[in-house]
Structure formats: C-alpha cells, structure tokens
Structure 1
Amino acid sequence: MFEKYSLKKQFILTFILILISSILSMVFISVIAFFILSSPWIYPANYYEKQMPRIEKYVKENNTKLLDVSFKKNLEKIIPLSGIEYKVVNFKTDTNYGNLEYSICEKNDLIDKINTSILNKNEVLKFIPIIDDKFNINGVIIFKYILKVQPISKYKTIFFLGSIVYLISPFLFIIIYSIIFGKKFSKNINIPLKQLIDASNKIKNYDLDFKLNYSYNNELGKLIQAFESMRCELKETLTKQWVAEKEKRDIVSSLSHDLRTPLTIIKGHVEMLKEGFYKDERRLKKYLDIIETSTNRAVLLVEDLNVLSKFENPKFKLNIRKTNVLDFIKEKLEEYKLLAEKNGILLSIITENIDNNTIFYMDKLRICQVIDNILINSFRYTNNKDSICIKISLVKNKLKFIISDTGKGFSEEDLKYAFRKFYKGDKSRSKDIGSYGLGLYIAKTIVEKHGGKIRIYNDKGATVEFFIVMREKL
C-alpha cells in the first residue's frame, strides 16, 4: 500500500491511518449508541421524575394507610423500586419502613422539608407529607431517584458492560488498527528483508545464480540494489577466479600431457642408446635427431607458456615503437620466402594505402609473433601448389591484416573454439612441433592489447583477419 514511500513516510502514514480509522469507528459506535439510547429498553434521564405525579396521587389517596407497615406491599406495587427508593416515617409511633437509607433527623426538620425537593448533583430527594382527615401531619414519605439515563432493570448488566466498552473503545480501536496496519507495515519491511536473508544464505552456500528484485526506490530498495550490485561484482570476481583456477588446472593437465610425449620419446631412445645402439652410427644419428626434435617440442611448449604468462600479467606493457610498415612487410616476406619455395607454395603480399613513408606505432615484435603463429598454421595445412596471400591495408588509424590460404580451411569446431586456450581441433596437430593450442590464443591476446580484434572464417581456404589500432606515439 505504502511500499513506494520512504520508511519514515510509511510510518507516518500508517500512524495517520490508525488515527483516522479509530475516529471513524468511534463515530460509527457513537451513532449505534445514540440509537440504543433511543430504544424502549433504555430509560431517559427524567424517566423516574415523570413517575412521581402518579406516585404522589396514590400517596394522597391513601394518606394514613401508608403509615401501617402492613400496607408496604401495596405501596411497593406503585413505586418502581428499580429506580426509586423510599422511606415512610410515622411521627406518632416513631416507626419507619422502606428501602431508602436515610438518617432520620428531628421531626421539625422533616416538617420543614415537606413538599420540597433537594437536588444534589443528579440525585433528587423529595419529601411528601402524610395527612389525616383533620389535616394533621402524621408522617412523611421520602423518595429518592437519580436523573440519568438508565436501562430497564433486566438490561442493567448489559448496559453496564456496554458503557465500559464504549469508554475504552478508543483505546481498543487504536490497539486493533495498530495490529492490522502494523502488520501491513511490518510486511512491507519483511518482504525485502527476507530477500536479503535468503540471498545471504545462498551466498553462504556458494550460490550466486539468483537476482534480487525490489521495484520501489526507498531505503530498502536502495539497500537491495546495493546488495544486488555486490552480488554481481562478487559473482563476476568469483567467476573469474573459478575460470582462472580451471585454466590453471587445464594448463597443468595440458602441460603434463604434452610434455609426457616428447619426454617419453627422449627417455626411450636414451635407454636404447645405453643398451649399445650408439655403436651404430646410422642409428645413433637417427636417435639423436629424434631426441633433438622431441627436446625442441618441449622447449617450444615451455616458451609458449612463458609468453602466455607474460601477456596475462596485468602489469604487462607493450613495447610501442615507431615502425615503417613497408619495411616491416618486406622483412616478413624474406623470412618466409625460402620456406614457401621449399614447399612449392606461392606466397604473395598485397598492400593498400601504404608507401615507403607509411609509419605506424606498434609493438613490432608482438605483431611479428601474431603473423608467425598464423603463417605457421597456414604452411602446416597448405599443400604443394597452393597459395598463401597476405593483404595489408591502412585505414585512418587502423592497420588491417588478412592472411588467407587455399588449404583445407577451418572445421566447424575450429570456427567455434579456435581461440580457446589449448584447443586442438585437428588431433594430428599434436604430432607437429610447436602445436599446443596456444598459437591463436596468443595472437588474439596480442591483437586485443593493441586495441584491435581478430576473427577467422573460410573463403577458398582458411582466412584469418585482424586489425590493430595506432598506439600512443613516443
């Protein structure tokens, strides 16, 4: 009801609502009480006063008969004893009877009070003389009644209880409405608090896959938003930590697996040499070549891991230097020209918007590493009489590279996972020197540190396309 308001405003509105509801209920009860007081079983305040003329008439008609105690029953049939008390005083015999407790004073005092009414607050005392036939005052009858609203005798208990309830009803209504609206106010607070408690328990049990939602921007809403932000940050941090731990396990697992093969080969051939095969020069050279090849594989793996460790270090910085793009391209062409000729592969380079004076600021060594990783893969999966083309273009502050070959191209699995650490799509790669599933991952890391992006796709064969952004000049 008031959830969207601040807690202070909710409390004030709840308090006001309690007061208004209590006042309206009191008005309703008062209306009911008015109708009850107007009902036939409730006597008005002057009810017994209206009975007095009839009683006085009876007294005058019977006069001295009233002095006889035996006449008491007849008299009490006339007097409504539920609201009128009386006492008959006989001056001749000094006797009296009746249900009124009244201290009898001197006879002369009573005579002075004859035919008078004494009003004390709402209590009335009336003195009526008892006169004989000779007009002598033989006694007096005293009546006492109260001027107030009264119920019929049989409803007195109900009326009494109702009066008490009416008097305490304001407090009752305040208590009742405090419970009702207090419960609602408490619910408004408990709903978000329960969310926070449940969320705390989930976090304690390492469960971060939930979302806190509270649509009102009050104090509790801000608290939940802060808690949700904390959960997101915690999940992101822990996810990174869990991923990092998994990567560490993957690295150890992959390292142990990939090192086992070359080390097993080295161990096997060393044992054969120790058994005497070193005496055969032809076998000795063959075994030493195999040992050298396996050793190179192990060294390359360790070097790749060292490079990877450097790149993933937050403190790693690129060594940005001024680079002549055309000279850089010619150097790379010379490095791979002989390898291309040896394998019968046509290697070509195409440039756009690049001339002898084109300068670009980048980490030349790391970009060489990217190109080397891509070209080595191209040479590995490109057959004799195929071709490899390197296209380099400069657009504004971006240097773009497209390296494509006419080989067998990427598989569907390669296109999805090629940039993952230790991914080896083609199982035959594990037999090739330097293929440990780190090449494209390292290339991606270097390109991104240069502010660029890299992607792979199939055209006539495999194509790797990436660009780097001009870094800050020195």
Structure 2
Amino acid sequence: MSIKTRLLLSYIAMIVVPIVCFGLVASFLGSVILGESFSHGAGKEAGKPAFRQTQERRDELFAGLAFLARYAPERLLHQDVLAETDEELHRLGGAIIVAKDGAVQFASASLDRADLPKYMQPSAPDERSRRWPPWSSRDVVETQSFVFADNSQGTLYFVAEDRTFLTSGLYFFLAMLISFLVIVGLTNGVLTYFVSRSIIRPLYALKQAAHEIKEGNLERPVQLGRKDELGELGEAFEEMRVRLYDSIRLQLQYEENRKELISSISHDLKTPITGIKACVEAVLDGIADTEAKREKYMQMIAGKSEQMDRLIDELLLFSRLDLNKLPFHLEPVDIRAYVADCVQELRLEPRLSGVHISVAGTEGAPLMVMADREKLHRVLMNLVDNSLKYMEKEDRRLTIQLQATADEAIVTVADNGTGISREAMPYIFDRFYRADRARNTATGGSGLGLAIVRQLVEGHGGRVWADSEVGRGTSIHVALPLQKGTGGEADEAHPDY
C-alpha cells in the first residue's frame, strides 16, 4: 500500500471513527442523563421521557402521603410504612420528613441529619432557590400541615431534587464536549502513532544505511521489505550500494592490474635490455676479438632489439584496445576464402617450416561475416604464434578448422603441443599471464598475445574460448557472428588438404 493511500485512509478514519464513536456515546449519554429512552407501554404513558415519568411517579407518592396526612395521620407514625415508601422515593430522587409538634418523627435515610433543621425552616427554600447558576440542580421543599388524633400539630415535608431539562441539558452538553475531545484525541493519537511509525521506521533504517555507506561499509544490504514509495527508495539505496561496492571493487582490481602491468612490463623489458647490455660490454671489453664473434654479438643485439620492439608494439596495441581508441573498419568478408588465404600464407612462412598444416571447412558456399581484415589477420597470427611456442614434439602439427552454425562462424586453431593445465585455463586470456613463464620468456613471449586476441574478437562482436589437454595439445576457438541470411546447418569438419 502506498504512503498516499495510507495517509488518505488515515484521514478518512480520523473523520469516520470519531463520528461513529461520538454517535454511540451521545446515544448512551442521552439515555443516562436526559432519560431519552421512551417507554414502550400503551396509553398515555407511551412516548414520555423517562425523567418526566420519574417526576410524575414521585409526585404520586407525595400525593399519597398527603392523603394519609389528612385522613389517616396516625399511619404516618408507622415506621415500616414510611420506610417502604422512602425506599421507592430514594430511587426517584425524593425524600420526606415527618414532624410532630416540631419534633422529627421520621426522616429519609438519604437526608443528612445535620441538614434537617434547614429543610424545616420556612426560609430555607428561598435561600436554596437563590443558588447560582439558576439552572443548577437544587432541592425543592414543600410542606403539608395536619393534626394528629391527640390534637398535636403535625407537619409533612416533601424534599425533591429539582433537576429540570435545562439542568440535564447542561450536564449532557458538558459530557458530550468532554467525550468528543477524548474520542478525537485518542483516535488521532492512535492513528498518528501507527501511520508515523510505518514511515519513521524505514526512514530510520535508510538513515542507518546512509551512515554505513558514508563510513565505507558497503557489505550490509538495505532491505526494507516494503512495496510503497519508501520501498522503492530502499531499492534505489540498495542499487546505489551495490554499484558503489562494485565500482570500488573494480577500482581496486584496476589498481592491482596496473601494478601487475607495470611489474610485467618492467620484467619483460629488463630481460632484452640486460642481454643487449651484456653484448655491448663484451664488444667493448674486447671479448669479441674476431669478426665472427662480433657478428654473433651483433645478431644477438638485433634479436633482443626486435624482441623489445615487438613487445612495445603489442603493449601499445593492447593499450589502445583497452582504451577503445583503436578503430575497427568492418566490412563483409567471406570467412571461408579468408581462412584459405591465411593458410596459404602460413605455408610460406619460414617459421612454420617443418610444421604440418591442415585445414578443414574452407570449401562450400560463402560464409559472410563483418570483419576488419587486418585485425582478423592479427588474431589468426597470434593464435598460430601461441601454438608454435608449445610445440616441442618432433612431429609438429597445426590444424585450422572452420565450422558454421545457424548464427556463427567458428574458426579453430589446434596444435599437438604440450597443452595447458586445467588450473591455468581460466587465466590464459589475461594480459601478461604465462602458463610457463620460463619457457615463454625464452621464446620471446610477451604474455599479451591471447589478451590481444580476446580484445580483437570482442571488438568484432564475437567470442573466444579454449580447450586443452596436457600432453595432447590445445584448441582455441574464435566465433564471429554471421550476417543475416548466410547461416545454415552446422558444417561437417573434413580436411581440405
């Protein structure tokens, strides 16, 4: 539920709940204070307010006692008769006092004995009638004089609480006002507490998450588990945290790679420079005292210089590829014909003399790919050079195979060299990685050949991977996407030569 909906429902509840509760309380208070629960009997009593019926019943009892005072005054001296009547009068808000020659013979239990003289004085009702405010509840005293059988003077005092409708209305209004304030206060307080808690708690969690991020602790996830706007904000915080974490980790990785790159460059440049320096010192010290020795040292210097030049060229190429500053001039190329031409070129390469080269898959319908001819040539030459470094058998073989799938043309360069261990396979396309550092240094390997291959293949939108088995050789596969309409079923691999 969104925050907007939650707040809207809380506002509606703040209006509806107090109204409903106020209505129930008003009905209850009206029944209790105003006596607005009407009787359901028949005849003239039906429909009268309860407080009015109470007054009429009390007046009837007072009238009955006045009748006894006139016609049977001696019965007013019977305590049991008066006690029974007084019990009912107490429920109706009335009381009586029976006096004989000024002496109290009976007084209702609800009256304080100390207040009896005030009720029996003629001035008491007038004094009580002057109470303020005029609509406040007061006691009304009426008297009934009669004569007992022994001619003694008797007086009957009727005491009734005069609670008028105006007085009850005032009590009702005050009770309703207090009830309204209590209901509104409780309703708003409870709803505000729950709504604010549902908003403040996730905000506090986001504050803690921001503090953790500020302190550099990016491993603690931000999980609010909500589906509202705050939940979306929490998801944005989590995405930001993940990106910051990945960015810092990548930055640290780049920094480690930079250090490794500097170390590798220093090592690879140091080796030929050391060789050149040793040859120069040998010539200067007179060790090369014959023409044949001087020529030998010069050839060594030339070889080391060529090795340095090749390393610098590969390093420059890789740097431009890594920075995406090397442009690709892509054009439609028939990969079958292109691979066949490359194989013919390799057969004439002096370095490959003594290597048996076989090719498969170059016959058939044209397979068109978008490629940069120069860079694709560099890919194949680097793969062939990498294979030559690992060929130590007398029978050296190199196989170049082309296959087609529905979406890709796959060129495989396989050799029968020493192979690569399973532990080294995940790293052979990393820059400056050498499965056998000593052998590759001896053969002039820079450790950038396969890294350049990966960069160039990915620049064509393709992919590269390798298979190898120690003692049996290595196969490196280059897959390039076919142009639409030139794909087909997978080609069968068969030697063309």
TM-score, normalized by length of structure 2?
Answer: 0.68
Within-5 A mapping of 1:86-97: 86-88=118-120
- Give how far 1:446 is off: 1.1
* Aligned residue runs from structure 1 range 121-270, under 5 A: 125-128=140-143, 130=145, 145-148=160-163, 168-270=178-280
Q: Is the 8 A contact 1:413 1:425 kept in 2?
A: no
Q: Is the 8 A contact 1:87 1:141 kept in 2?
A: no
> What is the rounded CA distance, in whole Å, between the counterparts of 2:483 and 2:135 in structure 1?
108
1:226-271 CA distances to partner (integer Å, 9 max, x unpaired)?
Answer: 3334444444544444433333232222222322333333344444
Select the residue among 440, 463, 470 that pairs with 2:475: 463
Distance 1:331 1:225 in 2: 53
The equivalent residue for 2:372 is 363
Give the whole-Å Cα distance in 1 for the aligned partners of 2:466 and 2:352.
26
Distance in 2 (CA, whole Å) between partners of 1:36 and 1:146 is 14
Say yes or no: does 1:436 pair with 2:427.
no
1:333 maps to: 344
Give a deviation string over 1:134-185, Cα, whole Å, max 9, x none. Answer: xxxx999986642449xxxxxxxxxxx9x98886344334333433333322
Change in 2 beyond 3 A, CA 1:100/1:55? farther
Distance 2:442 2:175 in 1: 98
Write the mapping of 1:313-352 to structure 2, written as runs, cut at 5 A. 313-321=323-331, 323=333, 325=335, 326=337, 329-339=340-350, 342=353, 344-352=354-362
Deviation at 1:303, TM superposition (A): 1.5
Gap runs ≥5 in structure 2: 36-50, 77-97, 165-170, 485-497
Shift of 1:374: 1.0
SS of 1:101's partner is helix
Structure 2: which amino acid aligns with 1:384? E
Check 1:419–1:210 CA distance in 2 against 1; reply closer, same or farther (3 A cut): farther
Who is 2:306 aligned against? 296
Q: Please say if residues 354 and 394 of structure 1, whose CA atoms lie closer than 8 Å, have aligned partners that are also in contact.
A: no
Cα separation, 2, equivalents of 1:430 and 1:267: 21
Q: Which deviates further from its counterpart, 254-263 or 208-217? A: 208-217
Q: Alpha-carbon deviation of 1:390?
A: 1.0
Aligned residue for 2:381? Answer: 372
State the TM-score, normalized to the length of structure 1: 0.71
**RMSD over equivalenced CA pairs, Å:** 4.7
Whole-Å separation in 1 of the counterparts to 2:352 and 2:143: 151
Q: 1:413 aligns to what SS in structure 2?
A: coil
Whole-Å separation in 1 of the counterparts to 2:218 and 2:339: 50
Q: C-alpha displacement at 1:215, in angstroms? A: 4.7
Partner residue of 2:5?
A: 9
Q: Is the 8 A contact 1:345 1:387 kept in 2?
A: yes
Match of 1:399 among 391, 409, 420: 409
Name the structure 2 match of 1:81. 111
Tell me: CA distance 1:121–1:396, structure 2 relative to 1, closer, same or farther (3 Å).
closer
The residue that corresponds to 1:306 in the other structure is 316
Q: Deviations over 1:276-316 (max 9, x none)?
A: 43545455444444433333333222222211121122354
Q: Distance in 1 between matches of 2:284 and 2:60?
A: 142
Task: Provide the residue aligned with 1:153 in structure 2.
Answer: none
CA–CA distance in structure 2, aligned partners of residues 168 and 82 of structure 1: 32
- Tell me by how many angstroms 1:439 deviates: 1.3
Size of the alignment, in residue pairs?
425
Residue type of the alignment partner of 1:101: E
- Structure 1, residues 205-229: CA drift from partner, whole Å, max 9, x if none? 3344454445543222332333334
Distance 1:261 1:361 in 2: 40
One-letter code of the match for 2:377? C
**Partners of 2:473 and 2:355 in 1: how far apart?**
14
Q: 2 CA distance for matches of 1:289 and 1:165?
A: 116
Cα deviation 1:366-389 (Å, max 9, x = unaligned): 111111111111111112212111
Question: 2-side partners of 1:28 and 1:125: how far apart?
Answer: 31
Equivalent-residue separation in structure 1 for 2:69 and 2:126 (angstroms): 17
Do 1:351 and 1:391's aligned partners in 2 also have CA atoms closer than 8 Å? yes
Pick aligned residue for 1:101 from 123, 127, 138: 127
How far apart are the structure 2 equivalents of 1:390 and 1:192? 62
Give 1:300's aligned amino acid. Answer: R
Aligned-pair identity (%): 22
Q: Which amino acid aligns with 2:238?
A: E
- Paired letter, 1:446: L
Question: Which amino acid is the alignment partner of residue 452 of structure 1?
Answer: G
Maintained 8 Å contact 2:368/2:483? no
**Contact in 2 for aligned 1:55/1:79 (Cα 8 Å):** no
- Mapped contact 1:323–1:360 kept (Cα < 8 A): yes
The unaligned stretches of length 5 or more in structure 1 are: 90-95, 105-118, 150-160
Residue 155 (structure 1) aligns with: none
CA distance, structure 1, for counterparts of residue 140 and residue 338 of structure 2: 133
Which residue of 2 is the match for residue 115 of structure 1? none
Paired with 2:100 and 2:323, the residues of 1 have a C-alpha distance of 124
Q: Secondary structure at the match of 2:411?
A: strand
CA distance in 2, matches of 1:336, 1:6: 73
Shift of 1:425: 1.2
State which of 416, 425, 448 in structure 1 corresponds to 2:458. 448
Is 1:88–1:139's contact at 8 Å kept on the other side of the alignment?
no
